[in-house]
Amino acid sequence: MSHRWSVLALLTALGAAPLAAQTFPTADPVLQRIWEEGTKNSQLKPLAQALLDSVGPRLTGSPGQAAADQWALAQYRAWGIPARAERYGTWAGWRRGVTHVDLLQPRVRSLEATMLPWSPGTQGPVSAPVVALPAAAGPQEFAAWLPQVQGKFVAISLPQPTCRPEENWKQYASPASYQRMQDERRAAQQAWEARVAATGVSPRDLPQRLEQAGAAGVLVNNWAGGWGVEKLHPSARTQRVPTIDVSCEDYGLLVRLAEQGQGPVLRVHAEAEALGEVPVHNVVAELRGRERPNEYVVLSAHFDSWDGASGATDNGTGTVTMMEAMRILRRVYPNPKRTILVGHWGGEEQGLNGSRAFAADHPEVVRGLQAVFNQDNGTGRIRHIGMQGLTHAGSFFARWFAQLPRELTDSVSFDIPGAPSSGSSDHASFVCAGAPSFFLLSLDWGYGVYTWHTNRDTYDKVVFDDVQRNALLIASLAYLASEDPQTMPRERRTVLPTDARTGQAAWPTCQPPARSAAASGR
């Protein structure tokens, strides 16, 4: 049976103190110096500003990802930490330019819209009418309608009945009005799904079918459910014409105008450049162990992002947290007992490709793992750590946490022994091999709706108090795991809970990485 335990249930309660001056349960001078360095000389803000504002988003295969790799290498080398870029394969290279979309008729309005990743651009500005996917009776009627898309932009997503978030309705609407809104939204969703199904074409293939029929472009809406927030993580499926995500409010405007016969005309100027298959890398840096160099403590965070914004909380925050932890360790613990290695993985968003490739290419690291600490879900302070089905891991974390101040531990709970992750983030690339690899789950801060893969994932969303706390905790855990006289055993729980997705109760199997876009079928 799996149990959740708070740190306070595992440890003796310790008195809280301000972040700037903590009392530690033990007199360990290295832990004290980690705290001092991380609180008095923090580099988190300059690191985040340079990465998120100047380098920007890091779409796999883009010039932005390549620039970020070089930036990280330069940072590590400036700190005196050996670092390298390890090529793990190739990916579809793509350079984003400007996207500008204007409504010209029946009135003038500049719209909030941008291309989906890997979309083709336009050859200069293109002006064309807008039509919406029809409510056809079936595939034959859709096929008869299809020639009408020639030279037009085609809207293929549900126009939301309201772009007000659910909680806003719940807060202000009368119960009857709130229920009516929910019913209308549900009915609209079902009707639009029926409209798409009537084409006889899968949603995945529909953009290409419209492109083949001569459409000037495809318009979609991927509303996240919050104020002004779009999910920009789907890849474009068109090959010659642009696929444009239009904001919830502006997309609804276009569909209403089209369906009321009011003649909407758009002008779209979208710049993009396909670069072919380009090399992609992981950035790896390490502090070599003095006594047990072939045993490893790994700090883990994926470096790539989607490019609708700056990739701030997915996963710029995890990236700078691990960089800051390594910087601190280099200053106060430069000669660790075990090797401390940081992996900034590429291609996570395409299927954990960078970390899976590293695990496959470095079996010696997987064999020698003492612990992997992975972070990848936003800007909040760490609140939960699952033991991934390893029966002895809980005692190690209890021993490590017992040496830390309450300021770093009081909000953290554990799942003991937990269950192994089969995906979701890069820790799973090592869990599948039975290695001690842990996901450090953070407080939400509206992550799922407002910043995960959205057009609002920018520097201003970073909560630096929480990120600083995470860097201190991770640097401390890396030190304690490195110095621990015991190597973490790999005994697994004998009875696993049933996976809700697969219906099976088995340890996950390691999956091979996709080492090229062509191999992945992108």
CA 116 from centre of chain: 16
Do 478 and 377 share a structural domain? Answer: yes
Is residue 446 within 8 Å of 377, Cβ to Cβ?
A: no
Which of 251, 275, 299 is a domain's end point?
A: 275
Cβ proximity of 70 and 340 under 8 Å: no
In a domain, 22, yes or no: yes
pLDDT tens column, 35-90: 999 999 999 999 999 999 999 999 999 999 999 999 999 999 999 999 999 999 99
Look at residue 71 and tell me if it is in a domain.
yes
SS3 3: strand
* Mean pLDDT calculated for residue range 244-270: 98
**Domain CATH number, residue 253:** 3.50.30.30
Q: Any residues with CB less than 8 A from the CB of 62 and at least 6 apart, and which?
A: 93, 94, 95, 96, 307
Tokens read off for 39: 């609180």
Same domain, residue pair 335 and 386: yes
What is the pLDDT at residue 519? 74
CA-CA distance, 100 to 77, in Å (whole number)? 40
The two tokens of residue 509 are 């199997």
Does residue 218 sit in the same domain as residue 110?
A: yes
CATH of the domain at 325: 3.40.630.10
In whole angstroms, give the CA distance from residue 55 to residue 50: 6
Q: Are 348 and 377 in contact (CB under 8 A)?
A: no
* 163 lies in some domain: yes
Asked whether residue 218 is assigned to any structural domain, the reply reads yes
Burial 106-142 (b: 16+ CB within 10 A, else e): eeeeebebbbbbbbbbbeeebebbbbbbbebeeeeeb
Same domain, 62 and 100: no
Q: Is residue 483 part of a domain?
A: yes
Assigned domain for 295 exists: yes
What is the total count of domains within the chain? 2
Residue with tokens 């068109």: 238
Residue 463: domain span: 3-82+288-500
Residues 153 and 30 occupy one common structural domain: no
Structure tokens at 484: 């621990």
The per-residue pLDDT for range 150-170, each reduced to its tens digit, is 999 999 999 999 999 999 999
Question: Is there a single domain that holds both residue 323 and residue 415?
Answer: yes
pLDDT (0 to 100) of residue 53:
98
The C-alpha atoms of residue 310 and residue 54 are separated, in whole angstroms, by 9
| Domain identity same for 322 and 436 | yes
In a domain, 281, yes or no: no
Mapped to the 3 state alphabet, what secondary structure does 460-519 carry? HHCCHHHHHHHHHHHHHHHHHHHHCCCCCCCCECCCCCCCCCCCCCCCCCCCCCCCCHHH
| Residue 254 in this model has a pLDDT that exceeds 50 | yes
Which pLDDT score is estimated for 22?
73
Give percent of the chain above pLDDT 70.
96
Domain boundary among 213, 243, 275: 275
Q: Which residues touch 444 (CB under 8 Å, ≥6 apart)?
A: 378, 380
Considering the domain architecture, whether residues 271 and 362 belong to the same structural domain is answered as no
- 300 and 267 share a domain? no
Tens digit of each residue's pLDDT (9 = 90 or more) over 177-219: 999 999 999 999 999 999 999 999 999 999 999 999 999 999 9
Domain identity same for 440 and 331: yes
The whole-angstrom separation of Cα 74 and Cα 140 is 59
Please name which of 86, 90, 97 lies closest in space to residue 61, comparing C-alpha atoms: 90
CB 480 within 8 A of CB 413: no
Residue 54: phi, psi to the nearest 5? -95, -55
CA–CA dist 349, 218 (Å, integer): 23
* pLDDT band (50, 70, 90) for residue 21: low
Residues 242 and 361 in one domain: no
- Residue 515 lies inside a defined structural domain of this protein: no
Same structural domain, 377 and 492:
yes
